């Protein structure tokens, strides 16, 4: 399964699709990017006169790239029909730097385990200066229909 097929198989659409590119993906991990649009809906109220990307959105970006794209890749390798149902089961994220409108981030994810359709990954997000924005672990259930 190629990178574009994985992105097309994601169960998200605008304004809640947070994957622009998958740079690398294999059995061990994935690296992808997303650039935050200056007119994204969540900036209007977070924060008034000083827009900052909410932590829950940063977590969602890491989940979409680091867990969902990875899960689709792994399921695709098993030749499972790709229309996944996804449920986030747990996450623990530490935040270090803010992300502002227009910034590009890189997500790097390493598979911890994939068994019984549960995928757990160690994820981290870097800004374009290669500074650590946030990191942690995210797990989700990925099940083909």
Q: Could you list the active site residues?
A: 46
**How many residues are given for the chain?**
145
**CA dist list (Å): 127 to 34, 40, 133:** 10, 18, 6
Contact status, residue 3 vs residue 25, Cβ threshold 8 Å: yes
> Cα separation of 67 and 50, whole Å?
30
Three-class secondary structure of residue 2 per DSSP: coil
The three-point CA angle 121-40-19 to 5° equals: 35
Q: Read off the tokens for 136.
A: 């942690």
């Amino acid at each position: 399964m190629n990178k574009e097929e994985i992105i097309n198989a994601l169960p998200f659409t605008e304004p809640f699709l947070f994957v622009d590119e998958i740079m690398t993906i294999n059995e061990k991990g994935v690296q992808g990017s997303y650039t935050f649009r200056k007119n994204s809906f969540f900036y209007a109220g977070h924060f008034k006169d000083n827009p900052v990307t909410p932590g829950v959105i940063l977590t969602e970006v890491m989940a979409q790239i680091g867990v969902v794209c990875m899960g689709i890749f792994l399921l695709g390798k098993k030749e499972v029909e790709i229309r996944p149902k996804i449920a986030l089961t747990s996450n623990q994220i530490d935040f270090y730097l803010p992300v502002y409108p227009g910034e590009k981030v890189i997500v790097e994810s390493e598979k911890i385990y994939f068994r019984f359709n549960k995928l757990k990954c160690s994820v981290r997000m870097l800004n374009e200066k290669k500074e650590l924005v946030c990191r942690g672990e995210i797990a989700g259930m990925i099940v083909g229909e």
